Structure formats: C-alpha cells, structure tokens
Amino acid sequence: MLVQMIYASRSSRVLGPADIKDILGASQRNNSRAGITGALCLHNGIFLQLLEGDRTAVNVLYHRLLKDSRHRDAAILDLAEIPFRRFGTWSMGLIASLESNRQLFLKYSASADFDPYGMSTATLRSFFDEVLQNVRWLE
Ligand SMILES: Cc1cc2nc3c(=O)[nH]c(=O)nc-3n(C[C@H](O)[C@H](O)[C@H](O)COP(=O)(O)O)c2cc1C
C-alpha cells in the first residue's frame, strides 16, 4: 500500500555542507533501492521530510532515521494512504534554507519562525504542494 509520511525533527547540532551531502547521498542511494521518494527541508535547524512509498518500507526507514544522532525530537505529523506518488522523480530532493525560500517557509507558519510541529495536516500538505509547484527554482 502506497503511503506518504511527513515528519519533523530538530538538528542536534549545526550541520555543515558535508553533513547535508552525506544525508542526501545515503538517501538517494538507499531510497531508490527501497522505492522511496520525497523531499527534505531544512530551515532554522528544523528538518521537515515527506516520504512516500510502500507502507512497510516507509516504516522501516523511519525507524532507521530515529537512530540517527544528527537529529532529535522526531515526530510524525501526517501518515496517509495516497493514490499515486507526487515526488516520483525525487529519490530525495533538498529544499535548503536559502534566502529565496524564506518566504515559502514563512507563508505557512503561524509565527515568524518556521514551526512545522504546530502546523495542521492541511497546512503541511499545502506547503508540499507549493514545493512541487516551485520545483524549478527550489532545486
Ligand atoms: C533529517 C534526516 C533525513 C534522512 N533521510 C534519509 C532518507 O530519506 N533515506 C535514507 O536512507 N537515509 C536518510 N537519512 C540518513 C539515515 O539516518 C542513515 O544515516 C542512512 O540511511 C544510513 O545509510 P547507509 O547505511 O547506507 O550509510 C536521513 C538522516 C537525517 C538526519
């Protein structure tokens, strides 16, 4: 069964480009093998990741992620059956905390800070809808 999971976590320390490269490298390598696609956002020290794929494969990955000391406070914000993949061409896309993306992060935040932990499911889904629509300038 095809599902999407959205979770948030906090980076446990300041992560440099080498850390991000390592995370994306492992993601792209493992996810294409496991049939997982999605997008990873990092803004103000908070990760927000959408994973889509087989329900069991997504659960297996989530349990592996929980053991990664580069982040903490992981919380599942949305888990839903989906009729089709929307990030099918992304084994894991990164939406970085660039100045040009700041508006996108803030558009869906109630406060001045990016706070996915406080977002409703509908807001989270709208956020990722917009990520998809803007894929050209976010990549
Ligand atoms: C925020 C965050 C997101 C991650 N996303 C993924 C992912 O989508 N897929 C993945 O395989 N590893 C991901 N990782 C890395 C895993 O925790 C783990 O380090 C990696 O899967 C180990 O792969 P390896 O055994 O091939 O080195 C992520 C790590 C962090 C901190």
Task: State residue 135's pLDDT score.
Answer: 63
- The predicted-structure confidence for 16-65, as pLDDT tens digits, reads as follows 889 999 999 999 999 999 999 999 998 889 999 999 999 999 999 999 99
Cα(137) to ligand 1 centroid in Å equals: 25
- The predicted-structure confidence for 62-103, as pLDDT tens digits, reads as follows 999 999 999 999 999 999 999 999 998 877 877 776 666 778
Residue 139 has pLDDT above 50, yes or no: no
C-alpha to C-alpha distance for 136 and 123, rounded to whole angstroms: 22
Closest residue (by CA) to atom 29 of ligand 1?
23
Please state which CATH number belongs to domain 2-138. 3.30.70.100
Q: Under DSSP, is residue 121 helix (H, G, I), strand (E, B) or coil? A: helix
The owner of tokens 């558009």 is 107
Task: For the chain, state the CA radius of gyration.
Answer: 14
Report domain extents, the chain: 2-138
